[in-house]
Structure 1
Amino acid sequence: MHLLDSLVRPRSPVLIGERVLLRMPKRADYEAWASLRGESQGFLRPWEPEWTADELSLRAYRARLRRYYGDVHQRSGWTFFVFDREGSVLMGGLTLGQIRRGVAQVATLGYWMGERFAGQGLMREAVTEVTRFAFASESLHRVEATCLPSNGRSVALLKRCGFSREGRLRRYLKIAGTWEDHDLYALLAEEWP
């Protein structure tokens, strides 16, 4: 562990499923993250905002970490990397972000999976663990997720995880350089098993 990680990184939970382990990213994860994102670039790009020229640089990764740690300190978000159960192979990531407390008690869920790990049910397991964390540990009432209507894998994942489609958000996010409609899905605490 890097000394800076131990001083700056907030304490965060480790979530463990049957085949996955989720924990907050560390500086030491950079190489695995850059490699997985790089090899999955063509797979991920149609569903994500445009990548910057330095998207996979160490400088950009450090900026991400600062943002992730700041979110935890402000209680406004949690970012987890998804590993195999032993914690040795990085497979993807997900964020429980834009947490609004007070009368709303809601968060937005976002996720990505490396291409070689997609379609194995691993993200379903990770989403299940994060929603458990959202409702049981963070006492949230609602978790929302949006996805492009054309992203069949993401639609199927959300439905398998118990999310219900609530409507369409017109020209909601700029994906791959174009403002795209997104479907809004949500899971409520009282619907969670």
Structure 2
Amino acid sequence: MPLTLYDTPNGIRMRLLTTLDAEPYLNMIRVTRVPYQAVEPIRDDEFYTLDAQTRRLADRMNAAEQGTGYQFGIFSLGDDALIGQVSLNNVVHGVANYADLGYFIHPDYQGGGRMTAAVKLAVAYAFRALKLNRVQAAILPSNMGSQRVLEKNGFQAEGIARKYLKINGKYQDHRIYAIVAEDLPEEHE
């Protein structure tokens, strides 16, 4: 049975994306291409094709099977539309025992707490199901909305990673945020 996570008060559910989601996922990333360009890598037109996204989702499914990454789709409970994603990437067990968190939401669904709720579900999954010790995220210092999502979920700013990721065509500094299992707010338990 597929894993599904719910936050009914915020009107969302999350589940791992599959290749069957390639078309709605493609439609969503096409819509977000221009408004999110300042916070995303530059991608060629081939990235925005059904074939490319089907392959990408197949790779993500394989990562979930291997336990190295989990790409959750965020769905609206009202109309079951795919409205965003939350990913636990680069999952490492053993001495490190952490994952990198990434997320975005369709511009029409910003506000109302849906992204904060989705991150909360992903963090709880990381600590409860995956038994990780740390979840971290890298955010552009100018991306105040993403920073608020993390802070509402108990993440703490740890510092600046200089020229960390190539975003919008150039390497840019990122603020590193993290939460560790012992920081988990009581409502997650």
Quick check: TM above 0.5? yes
Per-residue CA distance 1:92-111 (angstroms, 9 max, x = gap): 01110101100111000001
Name the counterpart of 2:85: 93
Q: How many residues align?
A: 183
User: For residues 112 and 34 of structure 2, what CA distance do their matches in structure 1 show?
Assistant: 19
Q: Work out which of the residue numbers 61, 64, 79 in structure 2 matches 1:72.
A: 64
Q: Work out which of the residue numbers 1, 4, 14 in structure 2 matches 1:14.
A: 4
Query: Which structure 2 residues correspond to residues 106-125 of structure 1 after superposition, within 5 A?
Result: 106-125=98-117
User: For residues 90 and 191 of structure 1, what CA distance do their matches in structure 2 show?
Assistant: 30
Name the counterpart of 2:167: 175
Structure 1 stretch 119-128 or stretch 166-175: which is displaced more? 119-128
Per-residue CA distance 1:39-73 (angstroms, 9 max, x = gap): 22221111111122112211111121121012112
User: For residues 94 and 19 of structure 2, what CA distance do their matches in structure 1 show?
Assistant: 33
Amino acid in the other structure paired with 2:75: F
Any gaps of 5 or more consecutive residues in structure 1?
1-10
User: For residues 36 and 68 of structure 1, what CA distance do their matches in structure 2 show?
Assistant: 17
Name the counterpart of 1:5: none
Root mean square deviation of aligned Cα: 1.4
Query: 1:28: how far off?
Result: 2.8
> In the alignment, is residue 57 of structure 1 matched against residue 68 of structure 2?
no
SS of residue matched to 1:76? coil
Any gaps of 5 or more consecutive residues in structure 2?
none
Q: How high is the TM-score relative to the length of structure 2?
A: 0.92
Q: Give identity over the alignment, percent.
A: 32
Structure 1 stretch 122-131 or stretch 20-29: which is displaced more? 20-29
Query: 1:30: how far off?
Result: 2.3
User: For residues 142 and 63 of structure 2, what CA distance do their matches in structure 1 show?
Assistant: 30
Name the counterpart of 1:141: 133
Residue 17 of structure 2 contacts residue 61 of structure 2 at CA under 8 Å; is this kept in 1?
Answer: no
Residue 21 of structure 1 contacts residue 87 of structure 1 at CA under 8 Å; is this kept in 2?
Answer: no
Change (3 A) 1:57 1:112: same
User: For residues 69 and 31 of structure 1, what CA distance do their matches in structure 2 show?
Assistant: 16
Query: 1:121: how far off?
Result: 1.2
SS of residue matched to 1:54? helix
Query: 1:87: how far off?
Result: 6.9
Query: Which structure 2 residues correspond to residues 19-38 of structure 1 after superposition, within 5 A?
Result: 19-38=11-30
Structure 1 stretch 81-90 or stretch 110-119: which is displaced more? 81-90
SS of residue matched to 2:64? helix
Per-residue CA distance 1:126-145 (angstroms, 9 max, x = gap): 00001010111110010000
> In the alignment, is residue 159 of structure 1 matched against residue 155 of structure 2?
no
Residue 40 of structure 1 contacts residue 115 of structure 1 at CA under 8 Å; is this kept in 2?
Answer: yes
Residue 131 of structure 1 contacts residue 143 of structure 1 at CA under 8 Å; is this kept in 2?
Answer: yes
